[in-house]
Amino acid sequence: MNSDFSAGTSAAWAALGADPALLERVSHGGPSGGLPARLPVMELARATVAVCSLAAAELAAVRSGRPVPAVRVDDGAVATAFLSDRLVRVDGRAWTAFAPLSRFWRAADGWVRTHANYPHHRERLLLALGLPDGAGADAVAGAITERRAEEVEDAVYAAGGLAVAVRDVARWAAHEQGALVPTRPLLTLERLDGGREAAPPRAWSGATGTPLLPCAGLRVLDLTRVLAGPVATRTLALLGADVLRIDAPHLPESQEAHNDTGMGKRSTTLDLGRGADHRVFEELLADADVVVTGYRPGALDRFGLSAEALAERRPGLVVAQLSAWGRYGPWRGRRGFDSLVQAATGISLLEGSDGEPGALPAQALDHGTGYLLAAAVLRALTGRYGPDGGGTRLARLALTQTAHWLVHGLASTPERGGGHDPERWTTTTDSPMGRLRHALPPVSYEGGPADWARPPGLWGADAARWATA
């Protein structure tokens, strides 16, 4: 193995609390050049896919009683998967991932990055800037250019919108939130039993046949949105889990986004504030093995969806929680997206030029964190059902921790473009929306699945029940 690749993979595997001897099962190769950047984005991508693949192989071995399968990480497949949201097509039609008001803006003393892809975020941005509904880019540019970047940041967040001042690495390190990031690990994976008696190991059938699916028979409730969380849960679906995505009916997801991240899943809507819908959710929870949430910390607690409340009602559950800024510091309750984390943490200026901010070649914080999240769930399942016995498990990750790892924790190996043809790692299939082109999964191990068992369907159109009785 390449030593830099080994170092990144080893660090992520250690963060998962896994056996370092299993790293000998991993190799990598294939054409590089698909994620050119100043920062080691390709190393991040390789490492996160590698540990996810190895965690899947480990769980497959636990369930089947076979040796841990060999893992092969292909650079071309990895780069293509990290670009999956840009490569997805329906009947040849591309998806424009960013709306016109989601971009960088010049402020009086620097730059601001906004995110306004959803209608409610766009409305709140305009409200914060004192602009009428329907105002366009010129009006927004005029309003922001007269204000300091941090003033815009504070005003937009106060209105419930999303904007951050673009900072360099030093300014982020000196910020009250940024100063806390280096004191936290890349991820946490722990037991939630506390003083209670641990839930006993849950019986399940062995994993046999080809492809070898380590998550066969497992049920996953997916309460995530946009990219990082859905990347994790589509990976669990690839590995055989029955994944049911649940959204609030008043917060619709774009069908275009779901075309990319809904692979292998079903999708429904429930209003957890309504008694009838909440009862349906509780019935689903009673048979769930994993719950994955991707909302800002505390946002779902009023529905009884804190990790502790879930563990109380469903002992032995695996709970995985994803946030943008972490569950600490003054920004712990803020909403966030990959693009905003890049801007706040110094990544945008590192990838920019001539004083103007830039961006990573993919939403690599989202994708990388998604594969780490899936790996954490897989390792939790290995611990929950494996020789270590029962117990309720909790995994927590944050985009800002992944960003810190990218900037400070990985070997600086900038990569130039060239030699990457994504068409080699895409395929086309029929779907309810039309002919769907999508990236093939990069998570791979000997005897494992090569593609998802089903394409995405229409967002929110499935019944709120498990696929099998």
SS3 33: coil
Residue 25 CB contacts under 8 Å (≥ 6 apart), including other chains: 54, 57, 68, 69, 70, 71
The continuous run of DSSP H or E covering 383 comes out as helix 364-385
Q: Cis omega before residue 211 (within 30°)?
A: yes
**Mean pLDDT for the chain overall:** 93
Strands 426-431 and 393-398: unpaired
Q: What are the mean pLDDT values of the chain's consecutive 10-residue runs (469 residues total)?
A: 68 97 94 91 97 97 94 96 96 90 97 94 96 96 97 97 98 98 97 67 65 94 96 98 96 92 98 97 97 96 96 95 97 96 98 96 98 98 75 95 97 77 95 97 97 97 92
Task: Identify the residue whose tokens are 């039309």.
Answer: 434
Residue 447's Cβ-count burial label (10 Å; 0-12, 13-18, 19+) is: middle
- Of 354, 371, 360, which Cα lies nearest the Cα of 39? 360
The angle at the Cα of 319, spanning 317 to 325, to the nearest 5 degrees, equals: 170
Confidence (pLDDT) at 195: 46
Confidence (pLDDT) at 2: 43
Confidence (pLDDT) at 423: 93
- Of 117, 181, 160, which Cα lies nearest the Cα of 326? 181
- Cα–Cα dist 189/318, whole Å: 10
Confidence (pLDDT) at 30: 87
Task: Identify the residue whose tokens are 């969380």.
Answer: 229
Confidence (pLDDT) at 4: 44
SS3 111: strand
Single pTM value for the model: 0.96
- Cα–Cα dist 61/68, whole Å: 5
Strand partners, 323: 398
